[in-house]
Structure 1
């Protein structure tokens, strides 16, 4: 399954979630910015939900920032992937400098994206955490941990396309994991979109203010 763009993927995901939850489920829909927002917007509209964000940052291996060994979300603690740490040949202490830099960037993005608005309040609600795809799933893991710490009634992770390993690894972190497609081999999220242009910080603001 290859999607034309994130908006098409979001509409398809909305159809699936509406079948599971009902058209007017009124969930709290939390997108992982930047790429999760164009997917989450049609989901929130279809389900009559409140659209907001949960901000997370990948902790990359030293010298290989694209390879995630962990992640942080909002004001939560870091979450590490033991297998990726082992593969990269580093320890949690060994990425302390990367963690500090990513924590600083996370705070900058929260200020930029949210301004004076309070963070989302998941307590007692059905919460959907949505991204445009799950490769390692490490940032989604951190986001789920943060949301779970705020006592949602039900927590669902949803993405149009997922690596099977990421989907399976995250099954214990959410009450349900919804993926429209889980191709194997997976390679990268962008492979499953015809248009996978990168979004900007301004794009995030436009979605949140709509």
Structure 2
């Protein structure tokens, strides 16, 4: 399955999310791409919504290599294999987590006007992104919403690798993934148009959803 763009992926996700419209739902979109995917489900079913902004924890000598991820409330996930293989110290991990939390809060204030964590207690929380690769940031987000009292967690993505989808089943109450290829390359490989979503587009979508 190839999606035209994130908007097309969101429209296709709607068919699988309609069943939640009678529940007390909050959709948490992972910006920037996840908000474009979440746009149609939010509009179609009048879901409450907000943003969740996890950040990867980068390796000491190459920040592009993720050894884990952290969410706004300090909930984090580490890949022990990478941590041990690279000999990453606890002091470095704590410093990197602190730096990434500062950046998360900065982005939350920029996008939302507030760095308070979304109100998820007692709700069905549907986390939407444009796809899964390593899954680290989504795992950190899931840990956070459970810690904050979500009654049910649902992960909804257009595409993800088979091994990660299987792994996620033990972390969420339900997972919705439209395309699980036998050989996964990169999230963008399953979109005809996978241009980066700009901040201006994020603000435009947020303003439209607030109307």
Answer whether contact 2:76 2:143 (CA < 8 A) is retained.
Answer: no
Partner residue of 1:42? 40
In structure 2, what is the Cα distance between the partners aligned to 1:189 and 1:143? 19
Q: 1:158-197 CA deviation, whole Å, 9 max, x = no partner?
A: 1000112221222222111111111132121111111111
Partner residue of 1:3? 3
Q: 1:67-125 CA deviation, whole Å, 9 max, x = no partner?
A: 22111111223211223334545344444443333222112101101114854211111
SS at match of 2:194: coil
**What TM-score does the superposition give when structure 1 sets the normalisation length?**
0.89
Partner residue of 2:59? 61
Answer whether contact 1:35 1:198 (CA < 8 A) is retained.
Answer: yes
Larger deviation, residues 61-70 vs 132-141? 61-70
**What TM-score does the superposition give when structure 2 sets the normalisation length?**
0.89
Select which of 117, 123, 127 maps to 2:121.
123
| CA displacement at 1:200 relative to structure 2 | 2.3
Aligned pair count? 208
Select which of 162, 171, 182 maps to 2:160.
162
Q: Which runs of 5+ in 2 are unaligned?
A: none
In structure 1, what is the Cα distance between the partners aligned to 2:2 and 2:87? 34
Check 1:90–1:6 CA distance in 2 against 1; reply closer, same or farther (3 A cut): same
Structure 2 residue 46 is the aligned partner of structure 1 residue 70: no
SS at match of 2:10: helix
Answer whether contact 1:52 1:208 (CA < 8 A) is retained.
Answer: no
Please tell me the root mean square deviation across aligned C-alpha atoms, in Å: 2.0
In structure 2, what is the Cα distance between the partners aligned to 1:22 and 1:54? 20
Partner residue of 2:111? 113
| CA displacement at 1:141 relative to structure 2 | 0.4
1:49-198 matches, within 5 Å, as 49-116=47-114, 118-198=116-196
Check 1:119–1:22 CA distance in 2 against 1; reply closer, same or farther (3 A cut): closer
In structure 2, what is the Cα distance between the partners aligned to 1:92 and 1:197? 37
Q: Which runs of 5+ in 1 are unaligned?
A: none
Answer whether contact 1:27 1:48 (CA < 8 A) is retained.
Answer: no
Answer whether contact 1:24 1:47 (CA < 8 A) is retained.
Answer: no
